[in-house]
Amino acid sequence: MHAQDASDCVVDLPSRLIPAANATIIAPDGLALYAQPFQESVTVADLERDTTFKVWFGSVCIDNALWWLAIVDGTMGWLTESVGENDAYLIEPNGEFEPDLPIRPRAGDNPLLVDEQGLQFSLSANIARTADVRWVAANESELNPGNFAYPAHREVTFEGYIGSEQEFWLYIRVHPADEWEQYTELSLDDLRAMLDERTDSPLLIGLPLFGAGRAFEVRSKYIDFQNGSGVRSLVQYSQSGAPPVDGNLIYLFSGMTDDQTYVLHIAFALDSALLPDSDTMMQQFDFDAFGDYGLESFSPSMISLLSTAPDETFRPRLSDLDILIESLMVDDFELCGAVPSVLKVGDTVRQVLDNSPLRVRDAANGQTIESFLPSEEAVVIDGPICIDGVVWWQVIRLDHWAGWVAELQDDAYYLERVDN
User: What is 109-135 written as a DSSP string?
Assistant: S--EEEEETTEEEEE-TTT-SEEEEEE
Q: What is the pLDDT of residue 107?
A: 65
Q: Is the pLDDT of residue 293 over 80?
A: yes
Amino acid at position 310, single letter: P
Q: Rounded to whole angstroms, how far apart are CA atoms 73 and 45? A: 10
Per-residue pLDDT tens over the stretch 347-401? 999 999 988 899 999 999 999 999 999 889 999 999 999 999 999 999 999 889 9
What pTM was computed for the model? 0.85
Residues contacting 348, CB < 8 A, separation 6+: 377, 378, 379, 380, 417, 418, 420
Least confident of 1-5, 51-55, 104-108, 173-177: 1-5
- Asked whether the beta carbons of 249 and 232 are under 8 A apart, the reply is no
Q: What is the pLDDT of residue 170?
A: 97
In order of their start, the domains of the chain are: 6-93 (2.30.30.40), 112-274+309-330 (3.40.1000), 348-417 (2.30.30)
Q: What is the pLDDT of residue 64?
A: 78
Q: Is the pLDDT of residue 97 over 60?
A: no
- SS3 category, 320: helix
Name beta bridge partners: 23.
53, 93
Residues contacting 243, CB < 8 A, separation 6+: 56, 57, 281, 285, 290, 298, 302
